Amino acid sequence: MDEPSTFPYRLRQEFLSPAEAAFFRVLHEMVKEHLYICPKVPLQELFFVTRPNENVHYFNKIYRKSVDFLLLRRDTLKPVLAIELDYPKQAEHRPRDNFLESLFIQARLPLVHVLAQPSYDMQELARLFARAMKQTKVENQPMRAANDYSPICPRCGITMVLRFYKEGPRKGQQYYGCLNFPQCQETVQVGH
């Protein structure tokens, strides 16, 4: 089939809504020295599904959903905090999405909800972020291997496999790696 000479795509007039743009500017003022802000991050870019063939239902739950803002560390570019901007009407009438809450808690990534407002108190926001990050750290106790055989991946909850370091200072030594590598890069040292 011939492609039409012009595609039926047009650039959206607004990438961020006015409320999102206003909050983005405040957020940028707060974190510009330390963190990068990614708006509108699809959940499927942030999470992967363990054993995807068995867990299609769980893939569908995150498919085409996104989180409003994701903050990344400037040095490692790893996510440190996610933010959902809630609108007053929506917050009143709709119960909070428990699935989303559980998803972030289990993935040990702090998620905070900020009510969209005409103006923001940066100190209050900073306190909210700090509290969420502290809470996640408390819950983030590393799981220990249950026995001497194969440990369970702390991220995916599936059995890890014995591998050899192919390069670097530990070349030739064994370690346990996750079956979901490279999406999951958890490792456990042998004998732990």
Compare residues 30 and 184 and give the one whose CB is closer to Zn ion: 184
Select 71 or 160, whichever has its Cβ closest to Zn ion: 160
**Closest distance to Zn ion from the beta carbon of 156 (Å):** 3
Cβ 153 to Zn ion shortest distance, Å = 3
Give the residues lining the site for Zn ion (CB under 5 A): 153, 155-156, 178, 180, 184, 186
Q: How far is the CB of 47 from Zn ion (least distance, A)?
A: 12
Q: What is the dihedral of CA 101, 107, 110, 115, to 10 degrees?
A: -30
In terms of Cβ atoms closer than 10 Å to its own Cβ (0-12, 13-18, 19+), residue 172 is exposed
Output 136 or 180, the one with its CB closest to Zn ion: 180
Closer to Zn ion by CB, 103 or 155: give it.
155
Within the chain, where are the H helices?
Answer: 18-31, 43-46, 56-62, 88-93, 98-106, 122-139
Residues 6+ apart with CB under 8 A from 30: 122, 125, 126
Residue 44 CB, nearest approach to Zn ion (Å): 17
